[in-house]
């Protein structure tokens, strides 16, 4: 799995992944924000098809500019069924597990200037899903 780097200037909505019948983990997407007006991030993970006995793990990571090392911005439970998961990261949030329909998980945290989003396929079956991200103030 490689890493694709994208620069973000004033965009608020980001297309991250659009996977149709994918069997292997796709490249992660890394975003470099040149605007400090955004402090939060909402990631929408919409799974429309998932293989038998499969699970998908969404990762949202901060990236250190100097070393390239990463750290988790949110710990997301693997998804094993169709549906939508929204992960909201913002300094004003209280940490809460995913609940409701769509499932919404809130995380207290600040988005760094460089962050990475990816999905790990935990089984070689075909899965169809999209991932979008929205920068928030």
Query: How many residues are listed for the chain in this entry?
Result: 137
Rg (C-alpha) for the chain, rounded Å, is 14
Enclosing domain of residue 36: 3-136
**pLDDT 10s per residue in the chain (137 long)?**
566 666 665 568 888 999 999 999 999 999 887 667 678 899 999 999 998 889 999 999 999 989 999 999 998 989 999 999 999 999 888 888 888 888 999 999 988 989 999 999 998 899 999 999 998 88
Q: Give CA–CA dist 18/6, Å, rounded.
A: 16
For residue 42, the domain's CATH number is 2.60.120.380
Number of folded domains in the chain? 1
DSSP state of 93: P
Query: pTM of the entire structure?
Result: 0.89
């Amino acid at each position: 799995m490689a890493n694709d780097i994208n620069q973000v200037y004033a965009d608020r909505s980001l297309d991250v992944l659009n996977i149709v019948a994918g069997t292997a983990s796709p490249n992660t997407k890394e975003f470099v924000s040149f605007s400090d007006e955004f402090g939060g991030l909402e990631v929408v993970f919409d799974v429309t098809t998932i293989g038998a006995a499969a699970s998908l793990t969404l990762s949202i990571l901060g990236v250190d500019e100097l070393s390239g090392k990463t750290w988790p911005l949110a710990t997301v439970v693997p998804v094993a069924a169709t549906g939508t998961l929204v992960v909201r990261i913002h300094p004003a949030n209280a940490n809460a597990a995913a609940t409701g329909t769509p499932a919404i998980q809130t995380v207290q945290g600040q988005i760094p200037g460089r962050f990475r989003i990816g999905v790990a396929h935990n089984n070689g079956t075909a899965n169809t899903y999209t991932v979008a991200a929205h920068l928030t103030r």
